Amino acid sequence: MSLSPLGASRSLAAVFTPIKSGGLVDEVCRRIELAVESGLLPSGQRLPNEVELSAALGVSAVTAREALSQLRGQGLIRTVRGRSGGSFVTENSFPSASIAREKLQGLTRLQISDLGLHLQAIAVTCAGVAARRSGPGDVEALEAYIRPGTADGETATPFAWRLCAAEFLLEIASVARSARLARELLHLQADLGTLTLLPFEDADFCESTAELSGAISAAIGNHDSSTAEERTRELITSTTSWLLAEHSRSQR
């Protein structure tokens, strides 16, 4: 067997990683979880039945049935028998702070700070390119996600703040017009999951996020790449720092 002088590339290892079975069921579950998490399927909403679900997602009925049963096990949906029956999104399916807190405790400091670094690398690059490429209408689109919209006199929920912040970052990637960076952001946000809900329970954190987002949006509009990058770095660092501090607090 001959190897090149440098040996096989480390990236080849991924090619030979075993493909996990059950991947499809998990994928269907992930899609539905995402739909619930993003508010697309609200509490009490009837889910498509096995046949409809399998047709809609292009999987077999067996896969759809297994996915529904897995979601039932997680408590995300409940099933009612009878003529008006079906599967419904449960009342408490909203990503709750207690679940997020549990998840945070399950992570190491190392995982949190590394995830933060990865997110920072992507978001800061997006912001720099966005400032170079921004055009008419782009700032308006960014400004829509500086703070969540609320009815008069109501305060926005942490859930709404989190959605808004996630959309703001995606909008920066859109203004940068990079499909790869946008996809990378989507993956990172999925990895972070409900964790990012926690800092938004803190009103001061919400306000400083809105302030930084406003500054980023203005810098992008002014074609000021270095300020856009600097403020975006602060924005991501503030999330990571908050999560690390919370991690320490609750382990004391």
Partner 1 sequence: MNGNDAAHAATGVGQLNALIGGLEDKLAAWAEATSSWLGTTGKVTGTGIDKFIRPAVAGFMSEENSLLAGAGFVAAAGLLGEERSYIAWWQGADMERVDALANFSPQSTSRYVKAEWFKVPMATGQPHVTGPYIDLLCTDEYVLTFTHPIFRDGEPAGVVGLDVTAQAMERAALGILRQIGPYAVLVNAGGRSVVSASAEVDAGDVATLAQGAAEFPVGRQFSIYSATA
Residues that bind partner 1 (CB under 8 A): 31-32, 35, 39-42, 45-48, 52, 56-58, 132-133, 135-136, 170, 173-174, 176-179, 182-183, 186
Start-end of H helices in the chain = 23-37, 50-57, 61-74, 97-106, 109-133, 138-143, 158-176, 179-192, 203-221, 225-251
Please give the Cα distance from 189 to 212 (Å, whole number): 19
Nearer to partner 1, 184 or 246 (CB): 184
Of the two residues 97 and 139, which places its CB atom closer to partner 1 in the complex? 139
Shortest spacing between CB 135 and partner 1, in angstroms: 6
Nearest to 190 by CA among 251, 119, 141, 108: 119
φ, ψ (nearest 5 deg) of residue 89: -70, 130
Q: State the nearest-atom distance from the C-beta of 71 to partner 1, in Å.
A: 13
The minimum distance between CB 244 and partner 1, in angstroms, equals: 29
Closer residue to partner 1 in complex, CB, 29/104: 29
Q: Is 79 helix (H, G, I), strand (E, B) or coil?
A: strand
Distant-in-sequence contacts of 211-214, Cβ < 8 A, 24+ apart: 212/238, 213/142, 213/145, 213/146, 213/147, 213/165, 213/168, 214/143, 214/146
Question: Judged by CB, which is closer to partner 1: 22, or 42?
Answer: 42
Minimum CB distance to partner 1 smaller for 32 or for 212: 32
Complex with partner 1: residue 100 or 126, whichever CB lies closer: 126
Smaller CB distance to partner 1: residue 71 or 112?
Answer: 71
- Least CB distance to partner 1 at residue 228 (A): 16
- Minimum Å distance from CB 179 to partner 1? 5
Report helix, strand or coil for 2. coil
Chain Cα centroid distance, residue 183: 11
- Kindly report the length of the chain: 252
In angstroms, what is the minimal distance from the CB of 39 to partner 1? 7
Least distance between partner 1 and beta carbon 35 (Å): 5
Q: Which residue has the tokens 């190392």?
A: 110
Helices 225-251 and 109-133, axial angle in degrees (round to 10): 160
